[in-house]
Each structure stands twice: as structure tokens, then as C-alpha cells.
Amino acid sequence: MVGEWSIQDLAKAAGTTSRTLRHYGQLGLLEPTRIGANGYRYYDQTALVRLQRILLLRELGLGLPVIAEVLAGEQDTAGALRTHLELLRQQQDRVARQIESVSTTLHKTERGEPLMAAEVFDGFDHTQYKDEVTQRWGKDAYASGDRWWRSLTEAEKQSFKQTQLDIAADFGSAAAAQLPVDSAEVQAIVDRHRAWLSGGTQGKPVTNEYLVNLGEMYVADPRFRKNYDVHGEGTAEYILEAVRAYAAANPT
């Protein structure tokens, strides 16, 4: 039939396997449009679009149970695709910035030119907060953090910053997908965020109070908000609600 694909053809076009598509069918994620007299599964255009959504959500790191919830709650396919297109464009922008940064570093290294930190890294200048940190938490707090940061290799600094970017992007994706803040997937992101924060506390525990207070700063302070709302307006508020749910579920 016109506009219809066999399971083998669909799997080949999507770069996956017939076994995977059958698994999606067993989970109720992707039912075949019809099953022929020969027992073969066939899929129409609606199924084709649904599979695209499944694969895109998988690339964002969502598990199949969560994807099932997301798809079940979507009534407007075109609206869902627009949302996902925006997420992909955000990822594209992020990758483009990384490509530009690495390209600049490569060219300057090859020519023996000095590197500018602003060209190599995505703006993480902790010294700009020296006075504020000292005022809030004392000179020892700033000095300790400063020593820790300066003790890292350039690769370690880059890894630390990239982890933050990845976490921010994952929060943005979860918010755009309207995942419940207390869901296992979102709480796992909060747990990663807490672990990331602990990297800069020199062994001191990241308490729930600290975590929630930081979440409130993400909302209230434009310097912090811009790092998260770049992935979608309201992401900072979403993170705050997520860390509050985390604190409630993990009392210390």
C-alpha cells in the first residue's frame, strides 16, 4: 500500500532493527498499523512520525517508560514536534559553540599564538564572585574554593564545566518534555547536580539546605538564571521545584 512500510523497511530507514520495533510494540509505544495475512507488521505515516519522536526522545536520554508517559500526554503532534525541534536547535547551538571553541584553540595552537581563556572556555570566571563569596561565607570559603580550582588541570576544569553544561541541558530537556519534577528521571538529574556540586566543596557534604538555597539563587539571580533559562524559559523555576522535591524525598 502507498504510504506504508514493512517492519524491515521501517527499521532500515530509521537505522534500527526489527527486533527493536517489535519491542516497542510489546511496550505499547509503537503498535503496527496492521498485520498482514503473512504475519508481517506494517506501519503508516502516523507510526513513522511516532517512531521519530521515540528515537529523538531516546537521544535525549529518556527511558522507555518515561517516553511512554510523554507520548501518552501528547494530543498535538505538530506542537510536540515544534517543541522537540526547538530542543534540537538548542543542542545544535551548543555543539556549534563547542566546534568554534575547539577550532579556535586548534588554529592558535598550530600557529603558536597565545590562547585567550574566553575563547577556550564557556565563561567560568569564579574570581568575579570573590567579594560576594567572602561576604556571604567568609575569606576561608573563597580561599579554599580558589585553591581547589587552581589545583585542577585544564582538562579537569573543562570536564567540570562540561558536566555543568550537560546537567543544565538535561534539566531543560526534562522541563520541555514536562516530566514531573519528582519523577525518577528528573531526580536522577538532581542527584548528578548534587554530585557535581560536591566536586567543589573539598569533601564537605552538599546539604539539602545548600541545594535548595542554590536553586533559589538560580531563580532570583540573573547571573545564575541565564545559565539555565538558555535551555528554555522557566527552566530555573523547574530546577528549584526539582531540588525541593529531592530534599523532601531525601531528608538529611
pLDDT by residue (tens digit) across 124-168? 444 554 554 445 445 555 555 666 667 778 778 778 888 888 888
Distance CA 16, CA 45 (A): 17
Q: Tell me, yes or no, whether 11 and 66 share the same domain.
A: yes
pLDDT band at 94 (very low <50, low <70, confident <90, very high): low
Identify whether 130 is part of a domain.
no
Q: Tell me, yes or no, whether 11 and 96 share the same domain.
A: no
Identify whether 126 is part of a domain.
no
Q: Tell me, yes or no, whether 182 and 230 share the same domain.
A: yes
- 118, pLDDT greater than 50: no
Q: For residue 46, what are the domain limits? A: 4-72
CATH of the domain at 172: 1.10.490.50
What is this structure's pTM?
0.47
SS3 category, 138:
coil
Q: What percent of the chain has pLDDT over 70?
A: 71
Look at residues 81, 85, 17 and name the one whose alpha carbon lies nearest to residue 46. 81
CATH of the domain at 10: 1.10.1660.10
CB atoms within 10 A of CB 186: 24
Identify whether 84 is part of a domain.
yes
User: What single-letter DSSP state applies at residue 235?
Assistant: H
